[in-house]
Structure 1
Amino acid sequence: MKSLLYFEGEKILAKSGIGRALDHQKRALTEVGIEYTLDPESTDYDILHINTYGIKSHNMVKKARKLGKKVIYHAHSTEEDFKNSFIGSNQLSPLVKKYLVGLYTKADYLITPTPYSKKLLEGYGIELPIAAISNGIDLKKFTPSIEKEQKFKEYFNIEKNQKVIICVGLYFERKGLIDFVEIAKKLPEYRFIWFGHTPMYSIPKAIRDIVKEEHPENVEFPGYIKGDIIEGAYSAADLFFFPSNEETEGIVILEALASHQQVLVRDIPVYHGWLQENINCYMGRNNQEFQSLISQIVEGKLPSTKDEGYKVAEARSIEKVGLELKAVYEAVLKDTKNEEQSLSFLNMKNN
Structure 2
Amino acid sequence: MKVLLYFEGEKILAKSGIGRALDHQKRALSEVGIEYTLDADCKDYDILHINTYGINSHSMVNKAKKMGKKVIYHAHSTEEDFRNSFIGSNQLSPLVKKYLVSLYSKADFLITPTPYSKELLVGYGITVPIASISNGIDLNRFKRSEEKETKFMKYFKIKENQKVIICVGLYFERKGIIDFVELARKFPDYRFIWFGHTPMYSIPKAIRTIVKDDHPSNVEFPGYIKGDIIEGAYSAADLFFFPSYEETEGIVILEALASKQQVLVRDIPVYKGWLEDKVNCYMGQTNEEFAHLLESLVEGEIPDTCQQGYNVAKEKSIGHIGHELKDVYEKVLGTKII
TM-score (norm 2): 0.99
CA distance in 2, matches of 1:306, 1:186: 25
CA distance in 1, matches of 2:127, 2:157: 53
Q: Does 1:304 align with 2:291?
A: no
1:284 equivalent in structure 2: 284
Q: Which letter maps to 1:196?
A: G
Question: SS of the counterpart of 2:36?
Answer: strand
Question: SS of the counterpart of 1:94?
Answer: helix
Question: SS of the counterpart of 1:194?
Answer: strand
Shift of 1:283: 0.3
CA distance in 2, matches of 1:175, 1:244: 4
Question: SS of the counterpart of 2:247?
Answer: coil
CA distance in 1, matches of 2:278, 2:285: 14
Q: Does 1:76 align with 2:76?
A: yes
1:125 equivalent in structure 2: 125
Deviations 1:76-105 (A, max 9, x none): 000000000000000000000000000000
CA distance in 2, matches of 1:153, 1:260: 18
Q: How many residues align?
A: 338
Q: Aligned residues: percent identity?
A: 77
Q: Which letter maps to 2:204?
A: P
CA distance in 2, matches of 1:337, 1:176: 44
2:97 equivalent in structure 1: 97
Shift of 1:304: 1.1
2:244 equivalent in structure 1: 244
CA distance in 1, matches of 2:95, 2:335: 32
Shift of 1:335: 7.4
Question: SS of the counterpart of 2:4?
Answer: strand
Q: Does 1:180 align with 2:180?
A: yes
Shift of 1:213: 0.9
Shift of 1:336: 11
Matches within 5 A, 1:45-194: 45-194=45-194
Shift of 1:334: 0.2
1:221 equivalent in structure 2: 221
Deviations 1:55-75 (A, max 9, x none): 000000011011100000000
Instruction: Please say if residues 241 and 263 of structure 2, whose CA atoms lie closer than 8 Å, have aligned partners that are also in contact.
Output: yes
1:255 equivalent in structure 2: 255
Q: Which letter maps to 2:73?
A: Y
Question: SS of the counterpart of 1:244?
Answer: coil
Deviations 1:257-311 (A, max 9, x none): 0000000000000001100100000001110000110000000001010000000
Shift of 1:15: 0.2
Question: SS of the counterpart of 1:192?
Answer: strand
CA distance in 2, matches of 1:180, 1:215: 10
Structure 1: 5+ residue stretches without partners: 339-351
Structure possessing the higher radius of gyration over alpha carbons: 1
Shift of 1:189: 1.1
What RMSD over aligned residues (CA atoms) do the two structures have, in Å? Answer: 1.1
Instruction: Please say if residues 330 and 336 of structure 2, whose CA atoms lie closer than 8 Å, have aligned partners that are also in contact.
Output: no
TM-score (norm 1): 0.95
2:200 equivalent in structure 1: 200
Structure 2: 5+ residue stretches without partners: none
Q: Which letter maps to 1:77?
A: S
Instruction: Please say if residues 331 and 337 of structure 2, whose CA atoms lie closer than 8 Å, have aligned partners that are also in contact.
Output: no
Deviations 1:194-229 (A, max 9, x none): 000000000000000100111000000000000000
